[in-house]
Every structure is written in structure tokens, then in C-alpha cells.
Amino acid sequence: MKLRTLTVLAGALGLLITVPSPVNAAAKQTVKVYMTGDCADGQAVEGVDEDDCELTVNVTPKASRRSAVLEVAYDPDEPEWEELDAGKTKNGRLVFDAPAVDEDDVWMDGVLLYRVTVKKSGVNKKFVQQGTTTPPPSASQRSGMFNQACGSIAMAKTKCDAVIAARNGVEALAALGPDAEKFCKALSKLNGGAELSCKDLMPKIFG
């Protein structure tokens, strides 16, 4: 089974950018880029997820017509950007498809980076998502974090060991069973973090 981890640069899911306009111009625009479909959780699993991974661009006000380009990089360490698609928003919305297979019809796995560029339009400046992704914790760091979370919810050692041994988020959730959400909330709150659900947390933990 192959697993794809998908990241939108400069803030993964739910990135919100406000583009100010001059005082004498129309109301300022906002641009929001996020993942939808089967990769909404940042992951796509072969044989589990269907091929409807999407990246959605929302622009407000909805009457705005903006051109945007979707690019992908297959090497997270030395990204070389390739254009996948381009289009214009309609009613403030544009949906890009992120294919699950390569040109040889082979399911892609590993870490894929996506970048969306919203082009300049009138007084509204060009917007390019920039930044770096936060690397997931190492195996030893993850083990320590999982042990802490297990202890905080009094999880049985055998179950905790199975979670620690998991190779990806899917296996971890299977080992957790009905305790999954309780565990994820405890894990995300370590060191004063915000409380997250498993669908938002596991992609960050396993990368």
C-alpha cells in the first residue's frame, strides 16, 4: 500500500491571505487555499482513497475573477516546481485536481509539495504561497510524544506499543480504535499546543 503526504506550502490547510487595496479602491480581497476531497487530511492512501484529491482556491468578494496556477514538486528537500494546471476563478472559486498517478499510471507515494500562484489583477497584487514546511518529528521523538499522550489518558501499554510501532497515520488510527480522538486531542495539547482532531494531526506527526 502506497501513501502520499500532500502539503500546500506556507500553511498547509486553510491558508488565508488578505491582499489590501489602495484607500480609493474597492474592498480588499482575501485568498484562501485549502485541500478538499480525499486528501483533505493531507494524505492519500492507495486502495483506500479515491482519485478525487483537490486543491481549492477561494477569493472574496466572489465577483472577483483571478487567474491561478497550480505547481507541484516531487522532492521536498530540493523542490523543482512543475506546472500542473491553470485556470480562472468563477464566482470566487477555482478547483484544481491533484492526480494520484504519474504519467505511467503508477500511484505516486512519498511527500508531494503543492504551490498555488494567484496572478496580479488590477490593484490586487500577485500572491504566491511561499515558505517552508515543518518537518515531522523523528521516530524517536514521535515515540516519546506517543508515550506521553498514552500516559495522560491511561492507555494500556500493549495498545500504546502498537501505536508507537505504526508506520503511518492509517496504522496508528487502526491500533487506537475507539480511543483515536481522545489520544489525538491529548497528543496535540502537549507543550501547550492547540487541540486537534486525528484527521488534522496525523499528517503532521507522520509527514
Tell me, yes or no, whether 147 and 104 share the same domain. no
- Which residue range forms the structural domain that includes residue 63? 3-128
Spatial contact of 198 and 173, defined as CB atoms under 8 Å apart: yes
More confidently predicted of 51 and 116: 116
Say whether both 112 and 77 belong to one domain.
yes
Domains identified in the chain, total number: 2
CB neighbours of residue 101 within 10 Å: 11
How far are the Cα atoms of 23, 84, 128 from residue 33, in angstroms, in the given order? 26, 16, 11
| Averaged pLDDT of the chain | 76
- Pairing label, strands 67-73, 54-60: unpaired
Farthest CA pair distance, the chain:
65
Cell numbers 506550502 label which residue?
9
Burial (0-12, 13-18, 19+ Cβ within 10 Å), 100: buried
Yes or no: say if 205 and 142 are a contact pair by the CB < 8 Å rule. yes
Main-chain dihedrals φ then ψ at residue 116, nearest 5 degrees: -115, 130
Would residue 57 count as lying in a domain? yes
In a domain? residue 133: no
From 107, 128, 149, give the residue that closes a domain. Answer: 128
pLDDT recorded at residue 136: 63
DSSP E strands in 42-199: the ranges are 43-45, 54-60, 67-73, 82-88, 93-97, 110-118, 127-128
Residues 64 and 114 in one domain: yes
Q: Which residue has cell 480522538?
A: 181
Name the pLDDT band for 41 (thresholds 50, 70, 90): low
Whole-angstrom distance, CA of residue 18 vs CA of residue 123: 13
The Cα–Cα gap between 83 and 192 comes to 39
Domain end marker among 83, 105, 128 = 128
Banded pLDDT at 193 (limits 50, 70, 90): low
**Residue where a domain terminates, one of 128, 159, 188:** 128
CATH code (residue 68): 2.60.40
CA-CA-CA-CA dihedral for 171, 132, 15, 136, to nearest 10:
20
- The per-residue pLDDT for range 118-165, each reduced to its tens digit, is 887 766 676 565 433 345 677 888 888 899 999 999 999 999 999 999
Question: Which range is most confident: 12-16, 29-33, 173-177?
Answer: 173-177
pLDDT in tens, 79-112: 888 898 999 999 989 999 888 777 787 777 777 7
Q: Tell me the per-residue pLDDT of 60-79, one tens digit each, with 9 for 90 and over.
A: 888 878 888 988 887 777 88
What was the pLDDT predicted at 178?
94
- 134 found inside a domain: no
Q: Is it the case that residue 53 has pLDDT exceeding 60?
A: yes
Q: What is the pLDDT of residue 5?
A: 58
pLDDT beyond 80 at 56: yes
65 or 8: whose pLDDT is higher?
65
Residues 109 and 63 in one domain: yes
**Does residue 32 lie within any of the structural domains?**
yes
* Whether residue 122 sits in one domain with residue 39: yes
